[in-house]
A and B are shown apart, each in its own frame.
Chain A
Amino acid sequence: MKRRRAIVIAAAFLIGGILRATAADYWFAEGTNAMLAGQYAVAARAFADSAARQPAAGTFVNLGIAEWRRGHAGAAILAWERAQWINPFDARAAENLRFARQFTQTDPPQLTWFETASTWLPGNAWVWIAGAGLWLAAGAAVLPGIFRRRKTGWHQALATLGLCIFLFSITASFGVITRTQLGVVIKKGAELRLTPTRNSEMVATVAAGSAARKLKARGDYYYIRTADGAGWIERDQFSLICPE
């Protein structure tokens, strides 16, 4: 009985996943067709639907192209940043980001050394590597004793290697976490304010596509730091690369 229930649950998960992937593929194809027909708004909505069902690097690349064609530079840069978040090796996303930043005269996000290291691999890869390194070190240290094997040099070398891998990847993994606070200004001429209120004094105006780091949130506002300064921005004018 328990086995049957487990099978049903597993099958439901499997079917749900397949259906989700199928729907994402359907909207991806719809978006591609709309792009070819020049219906960029329809295409953007289709790609956004596809990405909502199953985030994919290619989908975000195409979503960025559709948004760019619609004149939404901020939304386009955000989509390409997300494509790179999923796959740092995506050449299309990288090229489009270079092009867009050149056109909008905006700078890429300023990263710390461990954040830069975290961009070398997909964000989720680092945490798997860190886990594998940790348990490799632990296994190499503990298992010979359990299995009554004499500890040899290579056991110790393996444990040291695992520990090194763990320490490096955990740093990069921390960089991934801090990069979740990075975002993009998506509205043209968005205003940074001194306080999180509509009537407060304006500090600066930031261009759409400008990268910024979220420092805190209050009500409908984020406190962000950009290359132009820090201030409060309305939530609908700024979007995190990794949505909360």
Chain B
Amino acid sequence: MNLLRFKLILFSSLVAGIALRGRMPAAEISGVEAAFDPPVVALEGKSFYRVTVAAPAASIQWPERFHTPIVLKLEGNTRGEILGNVNGQMMTQTTFLFETLALMTGNLTIPPFVIGVDGQRVVVPAATLTVVEDHSITNPPPRRILLEIPKTNFYAGESFVARLLLPVGPANQIDALREVQFNGDGFIAGKTALRMSVETVERAGRKVAAYLQEMLLTPMVVGDLKLSAQGFTAGREFTGAITITGGANGPVILGGGPVRYVLLTSEPVPIKVRPLPEEGRRPGFTGGIGRFTCDPPQLSTNRVHAGEPLLLKVTVHGEKAAVKLTPPPPPQLKDWEIIPEHQSGIGFTLIPLTDEPRATPAIPFSCFDPETGEYVDLTIPPVPVTIISEGVPTALPQAGNDSGAAALKLTGLAPRPGITVSSLKPLQLRPWFVSLQMLPVIGLMGLWQWGRRRRFLEAHPEIVRRRQAIRALRREQVKLRKTAAAGDAAAFVRHAAAAMRIACAPHFPAHPRALVCADVLAVLAGQESAGETARRIFSADDARFAATPEACAGLLALRNDVDAVLQKLEEQL
């Protein structure tokens, strides 16, 4: 069954090839080659279909589709271009590389097809892959580049060193790699190799020599990415210094013979790229990711005049020497002008604008440590510095020949603060002072009011008398309460009589002492009980002057009645 299918496919391929040739007359040029590498594989084995054209890639119009056997699966489409010495001539060579998977035994042929080169139609010759069922074939696997990376989880912007290994070829020859490219979205690769060497690596359980090239890569896109590498074998065309270390099984040939530029690729490597955390981000972060330490900053001088520049340099040590740190942005400060130096390392030109600073300013700086997942402070600390003021004269030469005129000069210091003020702002602009001007106004108005009142009282003396009587009555009432509380009946009677006289005096008008009981009773006309109380009080008061004074202890009981009488008299004032 398989044999029948194979014959059918072979027939169809031949027919298609003949038809193509008959329909599109095209030139055959010697610079186009097509071949499988290796030409014989086991069933479901992998091989490479490689088409090499001796022309620049830009001049080649590669067809979108070309005929391939159905049972031959083509994957990927890698292309590379190299300028080199091919058959004694410097020329550009472009290679198209497809990874193939044979799904059926037999001879699988990709028939000739036409491509465009500089506008001409050129035929790519047929290539045949022999697929055998026997898994014990001794053909070596196709030659590949081995891509090694230190880890598969990175932060966006975290640079790492990728190792490209090219083990010795079938004839134990060491080949250098040229025109190395990395395939994969979201990576930035260094332009030149960090290191090239020939080392011994272990492969399939045995030690073999391999060409090693290290390159710096930086993932810039977050997500799950795939990274692969491609490059041309270049014999001994090393593009830089190379070191050879270690040993290998069997002899190793370094180059030899004409160079053959063969495009190789690596297996894709999956990489996961995470974003940098926003939390904990420190000032002065310029995207540096890695483990870094800073030496103490070095100043070109620590004694400088205001306005003169001084150089501040900081040496940064990193785990990965190849990874360079972007210097922090200079802070904007009043006393300093800071200009970043771009020559080497981290450096700043500092210009003190005043003589006030005692130290260089701290320059915020930080990096991100991918191992701990935290930002690390690398702030450049202040360095003590002495800034000298501009020199100015303190005296001027004597003007002209006038010997009498004293030369102007700066005076000495004032020994004391002298006259002080609470503020330089004038008083007349301060609200409280304006308010203060109301005091004399109020004073004058008060005086005017006082004079007016005085005239009024002079015209109405009864008002004065009543007020005086009320004030005197209050005083007598206080004394009355005190004597009653003390149980002094004689004093009680005396003050009660005096209080009644005082309360009645404005009605006559007369001096209180001039009044007698009848005058008080006249004021209390019609009020029997009050009159009786007044009569008893006055009677007891008069008895003080008798030859045998009466005991008046019982009159203390009239205290409430006396208060009621005095209240009535006060109401009549």
Contacts and interface: CB of A to CB of B under 8 A. Distances in A.
B513 interface: no
Interface string A213-233: 000000000000000000000
A23 to B, nearest CB: 12
B343 interface: no
Contacts of B387: 41
- DSSP majority for the B interface? loop
A142 B408 CA distance: 55
Nearest to B447: A146
A190 B417 CA distance: 31
A50 interface: yes
A242 B411 CA distance: 24
A122 interface: yes
Interface in B384-410: 387, 389-396, 408-410
A98 interface: yes
Contacts of B355: 40-41, 70-71
Contact of A127 (B394, B410, B421, B426): B426
Contacts of B429: 177, 180
Contacts of B205: none
B431 interface: no
B448 interface: yes
B392 A68 contact: yes
Contacts, number: 144
B73 to A, nearest CB: 67
Given A54-B420, A57-B419, A35 B426 contact: no
Contacts of B410: 65, 68, 96, 99
A41 B335 CA distance: 12
A82 interface: yes
A65 B393 CA distance: 12
B356 A62 contact: no
Nearest to B390: A71
Contacts of A71: 306, 355, 389-392
Nearest to B387: A41
A196 B421 CA distance: 34
Contacts of A41: 354-356, 387, 389
Nearest to A130: B428
Contacts of B423: 55
Interface in B413-427: 413-427
Size range of the interface on A? 35 or more
Contacts of B409: 99
A86 B421 CA distance: 7
A49 to B, nearest CB: 12
Contact of A131 (B306, B408, B437): B437
Interface stretch (A87-95, A150-158, A198-206): A87-95
A28 B416 CA distance: 8
A113 interface: no
A135 interface: yes
A159 interface: no
B405 to A, nearest CB: 12
B451 interface: yes
A135 B439 CA distance: 10
A41 B352 CA distance: 13
Contacts of A68: 392, 394, 410
A46 B427 CA distance: 27
Contacts of B416: 28, 58
B408 A102 contact: yes
A85 B421 CA distance: 10
A135 B440 contact: yes
A116 interface: no
Contact of A35 (B396, B413, B420): B413
Interface string A48-67: 00100011111101100100
A127 B420 contact: no
Contacts of A85: 424
10 contacts: A55-B423, A56-B417, A61-B418, A70-B389, A71-B355, A99-B408, A103-B393, A143-B447, A145-B451, A177-B429
Considering the complex of A and B, which 7 residue pairs feature the smallest CB-CB distances, nearest first? A71-B390, A58-B414, A56-B417, A58-B418, A99-B408, A56-B420, A146-B451
Interface of B: 306, 354-356, 387, 389-396, 408-429, 433, 437, 440, 444, 447-448, 450-451
